[in-house]
Amino acid sequence: MTSLHADEAFLDHYQFTHDPFAARVPGFKFFPAQRKPVLGQLHHLARYSQLLLVVTGPLGSGKTLLRQALVASTNKQAVQSVVVSAQGATDPASLLRQVAQALQIQQADPRAILAQVGQLALTGQEVYLLVDDAEQLSEAALVALLTLAAGNGEGRPHVFLFAEPEVIERLEVLAAGEERFHAIELQPYSEDETREYLAQRLDGAAQGIELISDEQITEIHEQSGGWPGSINEVARETLITAMLASRGKAKPGGAGFRLPRKHALAVVVVAIGVLAAWLMQGREVSTEPASTVQQVPAAEPQTDPSAPAQESASTGVPAIEFAGNNQPLPLPLVGDAQPVIRQPLAEAAGMSAGEDAEADGGESVINLPPPVPIAPVTPSAPIAQAPVPATVPAPAPAPAPAPAPKAVPVPVPKPTPAPAASSAAAGWYGAQADGRFTLQILGTRAERSAQAFVSEHGSEYRYFRKQHQGQPLYVVTYGSFASRDAAQAALRGLPAKVQAGKPWPRTFGSIKQEIAQSR
């Protein structure tokens, strides 16, 4: 399924308005609850930290979407955001030139840039420098960014790098043991978040999550690892496989792939026109003398959907053009009047049209090759069933019932007192300093589950109540730590069963915000 022809068949089969799993769908935004604390942490560190900030995650993990959210959530009057893509600026000269142009200065060197940042600070405006695809930067470019992040007496911008995890080792070498940067590692989606992500993708294409079964959602989550870019690829292949299987069952022994509806209708129209012309020729031939009769062969019906029918001067049959042979087919989208380019496979995580233009230099038109015919798929042979016996042996007679034993009174155990309610726990969270860290263990819709977990594992575990998609969610945490590193060290000492849920450190400040919003 790699041609435009096959992509149209995929959209036609599921009645999609556009490919729901394309890499860049205009207007699509999905920001799960687990990313909101990361966004709050970035704002907090930008305000109070003097270090370069690094956000890491594999390809397709949603780093660019987080960068967009960071820019969108800043105060535009107090912050000037400079966004640079390392794809076009891997060396320090190109990188600094882009920063200088954004700040409207002539000299593209660190000292001139810091001086301009200092001038903007006098007017009450800070500078955020955000670099996408930072793993592609050269060593010299990373050194230049570390220099800018450190600042001088004139000014200091807030530098954010969004990169794959490999950049951390390179920065550690350049830092030479000094504390010059702070790294934040993104976490994959949970299975529930994967379901919500798929539902929002399908809803944007005028369909619902019922297209994918619970078993398929679990398989998609496991195969993708919970990363949105991989979720797109696996989900699309899952639906294509299901489409081919259903067509194979509908036409046993035949081809498992059929023409799109509009192409099949066009072929029928051509055939009717040719037949009508042939009949009209037959009448004219029968009325003329034999000496003047000329045999004109009837035109064969056009069956290749990729080639338009040619107009025949002798028959008068009009030419029929097939829409969408060599150009993208415009489809209705909500919020954006841009033509949709149907790419065969989804690429990275969903990004908006503005982001696409930003990364590709503003160009939004993609030339696609003509359709390639798809090889037929032979349906699998039916599974043989075991023969059913004609007669069923009669069941053996039941033995006589034994006399019922005398009832013995069983002592009823006293119920174990439940831990403190979430309202009381909120007081404990409120007593913690905003900058301290805790480990988030799990979230559950049932308060009993959170209470049972806390009772089983000890007093260091507590839980609080928050709102998630209009419903209460009970979040279990572990401990209180002075720093992120201390929380990470404690994480490694947790039981294996608890570590299997992938706990992650977060600040008490972000928890207090969620508790306040749920009241």
Residue 160: is its pLDDT beyond 50?
Answer: yes
450 within some domain: yes
Whether the pLDDT of residue 272 is over 70: the answer is yes
Most trustworthy range by pLDDT among 1-5, 292-296, 412-416, 500-504? 500-504
Domains: count for the chain: 2
Question: Could you report the per-residue pLDDT of 83-133, keeping only the tens digit for each?
Answer: 998 887 889 999 999 999 999 999 999 999 999 999 999 999 999 999 999
Pair of tokens at residue 291: 């000496």
Q: How many CA atoms lie within 13 A of 450 on its CB side?
A: 26
Q: Please say if the pLDDT value at position 243 is more than 70.
A: yes
Mean pLDDT of the chain: 75
Q: In this model, does residue 373 exceed pLDDT 60?
A: no
Q: Does residue 331 surpass a pLDDT of 60?
A: no
Q: Give the whole-angstrom CA distance, residue 188 versus residue 183.
A: 16
Of the residues 152, 185, 218, which one is the last residue of a structural domain? Answer: 185
Residue 403 banded pLDDT, cuts 50, 70, 90: low
- Could you tell me the sign of the dihedral formed by the alpha carbons of 510, 428, 187, 489, in that order? positive
Exposure string for 68-91, b = 16+ CB within 10 A, e = fewer: bbbbeebeeeebbbbbbbbeebee
Torsion of CA 239, 240, 245, 246, to 10 degrees: 70
Q: What percent of the chain has pLDDT over 70?
A: 67
Whether residue 166 is contained in a domain is answered as yes
Phi-psi region of 159 (alpha: psi -120 to 50; beta: other; left: phi over 0): beta
Is position 5 within any domain? no
Q: Are strands 79-85 and 158-163 parallel, antiparallel or unpaired?
A: unpaired
Domain membership of residue 489 (yes or no) is yes
507: containing domain: 422-518
Distance, in Å, from the CA atom of 149 to the CA atom of 155, rounded to the nearest integer, reads 10
Task: Indicate whether 234 belongs to any domain.
Answer: no
Residue 367 lies in a domain: no
Tell me, yes or no, whether 287 lies in a domain: no
Res. 365: pLDDT tops 90: no
The CATH number of whichever domain residue 505 belongs to comes to 3.30.70.1070
Asked whether residue 479 is assigned to any structural domain, the reply reads yes
Residue finishing a domain among 130, 151, 185: 185
Say if residues 214 and 220 touch (Cβ distance below 8 Å).
no
Of 43-52, 70-79, 96-105, 387-396, the least confident: 387-396
CATH code of the domain covering residue 86: 3.40.50.300
Whether this prediction's pTM lies above 0.85 is answered by no
Of 141-155, 174-188, 224-238, 328-342, the poorest mean pLDDT is in 328-342
Q: Which of 185, 219, 252 is the last residue of a domain?
A: 185
